[in-house]
Structure 1
Amino acid sequence: MIDFLRGQVAYVETEYIVLDVQGVGYRVFCPNPYVFPAKGQDAITVYIHHHVREDAQLLFGFPTREEQRLFRKLIEVSGIGPRVALGILSGGNPDGVIAAIHNENIAFLTKLPGIGKKTAQRMILDLKDKLEGLGGATLFNPISADVSELDDVNVTPGWPEAREALKALGYTDAELDRVWAKLKDQLKPDEEVDSLMKKALKLLYAG
């Protein structure tokens, strides 16, 4: 089974990257493809989950081993397949997801793509004691805010959550303010967090 690939990015699409590894192009589905460097830059390492089913073999890729491990924990939960797990990681930064599980924050978890109340409860039950060693400082800071605090009535509701996830990836407030100024007039009122993330990352990636 493939655990990681090292090569150059050949293409970046909205759902995946194509990684050129010694002349072979691997299609790798990612939570946020635009976090990876542009085509033709130095070789990178992508941590892989190699998913095998009867009709296909799929590669899911992550910039860190921690995200890879969290993805693998998520797909152990009944009702969460690889596509839903990918949506979880695109809709909320890993530390935030881990903290929400540890603090039994169902309100936060049900804001993630594809997660209803019952699935959120299963995530907490199945994973709360299995995430030791994953996550950073956020893990030790309970998420006490109500979901309504994530929604600013003056902006698209999902943007505050998307912004926090982008900050966790290392982007500055100034960069995110510039991106929001470009994005805000192009969005639907009910734009999903994962869609916001992808559109913002595309702008950040383009400079």
Structure 2
Amino acid sequence: MVPVIAGIYGKVVEKNGNTVFVSTNSGIVFEIACDTQTCEELEENRECYLYTFLSVSQDGVALYGFSDRKKKDLFLSLMKVSRLGPKTALKILSSEDVDTLISMINSQDVEGLSKIPGISRKTAERIVMELKGKFESTVLKDLKTYHESLEALVSLGYPEKQARKAIKEVLKDGMSTSEVIKEALRILSRR
């Protein structure tokens, strides 16, 4: 029987890309693959708690970590989709925040999901077909405006993470893409 490692508490001793090394009080250092947002939240020489999932396959053993339970739950749901492994599930989680991904799945936004690097249209369709209705609805409703605004801000040279955050601050039902971009630019220019 494979041991279950549901979470790890310890100090971040090193970060390398999307891999984090966490030292526990027992002296063991765990190598944990994380989504981009979780890695950005963690700081070296600071204590952290990560919700984890231990993957055992013919390729080897890997430990995946997430800053909150919602991310881990979505990761586990994505892994249940046929022909979708942990590396692809992690790539999907790294592309957008959890609420946006859930909105995309619930609203059957195959177009938006297929824009995630490495996700084909067929894979996006499979994700929607197998997971739609499995999550509580989230706040983000107008995904077309969201995607268009994000694309525009990134093409203007703003980092994707900052652009996403600004859009979510201003996006309200009924806003046009140009209104969202204008309001988001106002926020981004202050930072």
Q: TM-score, normalised by structure 2?
A: 0.76
- 1:109 maps to 113
RCO comparison, higher one (Cα < 8 Å, 6+):
1
- 2:151 maps to 151
> What's the offset of the Cα at 1:40?
1.6
Corresponding letter in the other structure for 1:38: E
Structure number with larger C-alpha Rg = 2
**Measured at CA, do residues 7 and 176 of structure 1 come closer, stay the same or move farther in structure 2, by a change above 3 Å?**
farther
**Measured at CA, do residues 154 and 108 of structure 1 come closer, stay the same or move farther in structure 2, by a change above 3 Å?**
closer
- 1:186 maps to none
**Measured at CA, do residues 74 and 34 of structure 1 come closer, stay the same or move farther in structure 2, by a change above 3 Å?**
same
Measure the CA separation in 2 of the matches of 1:13 and 1:113. Answer: 21
> Which of residues 62, 67, 70 is equivalent to 1:63?
67
> What's the offset of the Cα at 1:178?
8.7
Measure the CA separation in 2 of the matches of 1:47 and 1:40. Answer: 19
**Measured at CA, do residues 81 and 169 of structure 1 come closer, stay the same or move farther in structure 2, by a change above 3 Å?**
farther
Decide whether the 8 Å contact of 1:50 with 1:58 is kept in 2. Answer: yes
Measure the CA separation in 2 of the matches of 1:178 and 1:56. Answer: 47
- 1:137 maps to 139
> What's the offset of the Cα at 1:38?
2.0
Q: TM-score, normalised by structure 1?
A: 0.71
After superposition, the C-alpha distances for 1:6-54 in whole angstroms (9 at most, x for unaligned) are 001010110210010121110000111532332222x211000110113
Number of residue pairs aligned between Structure 1 and Structure 2: 172
Q: Aligned residues: percent identity?
A: 26
* Stretches of structure 2 lacking an aligned partner (at least 5 in a row): 170-183
- Structure 2 matches for 1:41-52, cutoff 5 A? 41=46, 43-52=47-56
